[in-house]
Structure 1
Amino acid sequence: MVFEGIKAWFGVDIEFDKVQAAIVRMRPEPYFGTHALLEIRDARGGREVLRRLAERVTSAADWDKPRAAWTSLAITHPGLVALGVPEASLASFPENFREGMAKRAGALRDGGPNSPSNWEQPFGTGRVHLGLSVYADSESAWHSEVAAYEEKLAEVSGIEVLGRQDFGAQPDSVNAFGYKDGFTQPKVQGSGVSGFPGDGREIKAGEFIFGYPSETGRPVFMPAPDELGRNGTFLVFRKYHSHVAAFNRFIHANARTEGERELLAAKIVGRWRSGAPLALAPEKDNPAIGQDPRRNNDFTYADDPQGLKTPLSSHVRRMNPRDTKLKVLSDVNIRRVIRRSTTYGTHLDKDALIDDRQPRGLDYLAIGVRAIDTLEFLQSEWINSGNFMGVGQEKDPMIGLQGKDGTFTVPGVPPRYLRGIETFNTLLGGEYFFMPSIPAIRWLGDLKN
């Protein structure tokens, strides 16, 4: 059997038939999909819908076989309460999960325009109980999978769909700013997914799935009982609106020619629009590198300690410092998360300087047993501060919450200090979810029955 071979090779026995596919399976590219937020108004109805949805949630058992579409399911702390989970089990979850993202705004530095008081409904209200996501590689498979779970929901009373957001990226899988995205996924030991050059060494499975050895050598403490916690993980969901016109205006205000504008934009992001990293293409874009998964992530910053190629404050270098010597020490390998982020909305041309007020942006989805802790660390230390890189109070130029006179430094002789950088992505809301195993979904469905 394929799983026995994986166990013998990697020495890790991941129970693939119990783990949700979204944890260890790559998102299709190009992709179509839907995120849906649900409220449980009746505990009995909530449990019944979980029993019915359990058969729709895709396991990782067929990780090596193509599948047109798959569905994942996650539950918030208010959702667990609404289902009637015993108090002892609820108390076994970490405090930040129990409090929820809105109440953790201080730790996340979600102030000003990112404050929960400005979020879209129903985020942060306590009404979001379940999150369903469908990912598909074709429009027909997407519609078919969405119809299948909607049929299950329609069969049960006591469940309300609070919101639904479609997403997708075709044909080039670029984000709202026109950049190829989705690089640098961690390699999960025992997953059977080899990854690509530049993904780094394998990370212990217990950093991403409860019940397995972590980077410390021991499993991370998981929610109780084992029937609920084992083979589950946490999911962070944050929805951003991308201010593409504002980004374009900043680039146009600080660069004169098309070539200069594209280089400056690449300095801010850390990659060219094709996906080619500045570390490998420091002077001009090289689409051949960007399109080659065996080359576009295979680099280090060892020969660029001052950021002359890739600025220290650039988005990709902040979010994955690789071998950069940090001023504030941190174990990068326990800060890794699996990202299943998605792009939504219409495209806006790179030369458009006027906001058309259409919805567009990024749904940031991060998976891991430390995903909540990692997000709060990243938000406070790597995104909204620059001390760890030795760049003072500079913030992440793409997702940082900028002040009145935000700056971005392009190292050189002399360096360029660009002022007036704006907040290019505004948070519209988010939630902390628990992503249970498939048996745990059934366990929850059978509560009190």
Structure 2
Amino acid sequence: MSGHTRVALELDDIQRGVLSPRPTPYAATYLLFRIDDRTHGRELMRRASTAVTSAAESASPLGETWVSVAVTYHGLEALGVPRASLDSFAWEFRQGMAARAKALGDIGESSPEHWEAPLGTSDVHVVFTAVAPDVPQLEAAIDRARPAYDRLPGITAIWRQDCYSLPSEAEHFGYRDGVSHPAVEGSGIAGSNEMEVPLKAGEFVLGYQDEIGGVQTLLPKELGRNGSYAAFRKLHQRVAAFRRYLQDNATSPEDEELLAAKIMGRWRSGAPLALSPQHDDPALGADPHRRNTFLYEGDDPAGFTTPGGCHIRRANPRDASVAGEVRLHRLIRRGAVYGPPLPQGVLEDDGADRGLMFAFIGAHLGRQFEFVQSEWMNDGVFFGAGSARDPVTGSHDGLTGFTIPRRPLRRRMPPLPRFVVTHGGEYCFLPGLSALRRLGDLQN
């Protein structure tokens, strides 16, 4: 790995949604558009370049409110981006998420033929995301962005998903969300783990050096500079099934909470097992300076405290000696809750659609998002657990259980049902602000 050096990021040209953790609490909206007229599509890009918040505006009067604009491969085609430029994008992006379904574990109920229309189709061209601390500020942000797409008959709004934070700041399974965020060199934003060396900017933003000394660029170079790739997914959560599994396999309410913590790697408050192995510690879970500052290998290589197969240890093995250098597979991950909460204690599904809008940001779709999905979440070979899948988000077939390391005998849980079903998703490109203007100025 290359040494730690200072890098100057062009923050005024990078979309703020690339680098900033979402506010807590938050409200968010995803808006999808189809470009029916190339001229209007280009005008949309020009207008979007003034509606988007830059990373330099983190201390702006808008506070924790921002708008991001992303374009799919089909969107770039609709804008008339020249073939040589299109061919310079990552091949996973050019294929699209639906075509990559098998590699991502989107099979069976999660396969693209079951996705919510129009997700995964060639109709999705532009993705607007607005984020704010509350609904009034969110609506104000959308109102400010509306001139970008209003009064353009050649632009059609085709989908909307509203998200919000639950009063507990948890996601629907009951765990505090938004706990982990990597530090990126030059961003000015502290990471959530003070023991982690900041990652090279090129891991997340095109045009800068990454962890292995490479620089991701596009043709022309100006189109990619300060841009990032994004993967967004609508993930339906089967909350009643999750609660039933915990209750059916626990010996007491206390054991149920311990089982929930072993599956996730954290207690529901956000307190990690690594720092509070015996019981929940809500004060620790609420402390952003302490709740994510820990490693595994020195204290817990065998997973007796934090199981190797739990969700957070799979998503980020930290200092573990696993196949592949961990820092090459780090993600900026954002989750935003959608749908009504299932009332406490209810163990039967009420038929409501609830879950997480998940967003990944990075410069390497293949070795970041796709690698983590296929090798760490939907396999267990990397830490010696065969084909075992992630207990929370894995594409379970009802045949594989979950093993909790324990002395003198490990605890083997029965086969896991699928708790999370993919309802759709897209690979997108988040252009820098100057690249948005460049897309608006296309002339062919």
In 1, the alpha carbon distance for the partners of 2:366 and 2:18 equals 15
- Specify which of 71, 78, 87 is matched with residue 91 of structure 1: 87
Residue type at the aligned position of 1:288? A
Counterpart in the other structure of 1:5 = none
Partner of 1:202, secondary structure, is coil
Matches within 5 A, 1:48-447: 48-65=43-60, 67-198=63-194, 200-220=196-216, 222-301=217-296, 302-326=298-322, 329-412=323-406, 413-447=408-442
Partner of 1:17, secondary structure, is helix
Partner of 2:12, secondary structure, is coil
Q: CA deviation at 1:183?
A: 2.2
Question: For each residue in 1:116-156, what CA deviation from the matched residue of structure 2 results, as whole angstroms up to 9, or x when unmatched?
Answer: 11111011111100000000012211111112223432221
Question: For each residue in 1:144-171, what CA deviation from the matched residue of structure 2 results, as whole angstroms up to 9, or x when unmatched?
Answer: 1112223432221111111000001043
Kindly report structure 1 stretches of 4+ aligned residues shifted beyond 3 Å: 196-199
TM-score by length of 2: 0.95
Q: For structure 1, which runs of at least 5 residues remain unmatched after alignment?
A: 1-8
Q: CA deviation at 1:233?
A: 0.9
- 8 Å contact kept, 1:68–1:138: no
Partner of 2:11, secondary structure, is coil
- Specify which of 3, 15, 18 is matched with residue 10 of structure 2: 15
Residue type at the aligned position of 1:268? I
In 1, the alpha carbon distance for the partners of 2:190 and 2:310 equals 28
Partner of 1:379, secondary structure, is helix
In 2, the alpha carbon distance for the partners of 1:275 and 1:68 equals 22
* Identical pairs, percent: 44
In 2, the alpha carbon distance for the partners of 1:136 and 1:109 equals 32
- 8 Å contact kept, 2:191–2:198: no
Question: For each residue in 1:97-133, what CA deviation from the matched residue of structure 2 results, as whole angstroms up to 9, or x when unmatched?
Answer: 1111111122223211111111110111111000000
Residue type at the aligned position of 2:143? A
Q: CA deviation at 1:76?
A: 0.4
- 8 Å contact kept, 1:185–1:199: no
- 8 Å contact kept, 1:184–1:198: no
Partner of 2:415, secondary structure, is strand
Q: CA deviation at 1:374?
A: 1.7
- 8 Å contact kept, 2:51–2:148: no
Q: Given the alignment of the two structures, is residue 39 of structure 1 paired with residue 26 of structure 2, yes or no?
A: no
- 8 Å contact kept, 2:31–2:159: yes
- 8 Å contact kept, 1:236–1:372: no
In 2, the alpha carbon distance for the partners of 1:68 and 1:322 equals 28
Partner of 2:50, secondary structure, is coil
Partner of 2:176, secondary structure, is coil
TM-score by length of 1: 0.94
Question: For each residue in 1:4-31, what CA deviation from the matched residue of structure 2 results, as whole angstroms up to 9, or x when unmatched?
Answer: xxxxx96312111110001121211100
Change (3 A) 1:350 1:398: farther
Change (3 A) 1:350 1:279: farther
In 2, the alpha carbon distance for the partners of 1:430 and 1:303 equals 38
In 2, the alpha carbon distance for the partners of 1:363 and 1:115 equals 17
- 8 Å contact kept, 2:182–2:193: no
- 8 Å contact kept, 1:10–1:190: no
In 1, the alpha carbon distance for the partners of 2:195 and 2:343 equals 31
Residue type at the aligned position of 2:74? P
Q: CA deviation at 1:398?
A: 0.6
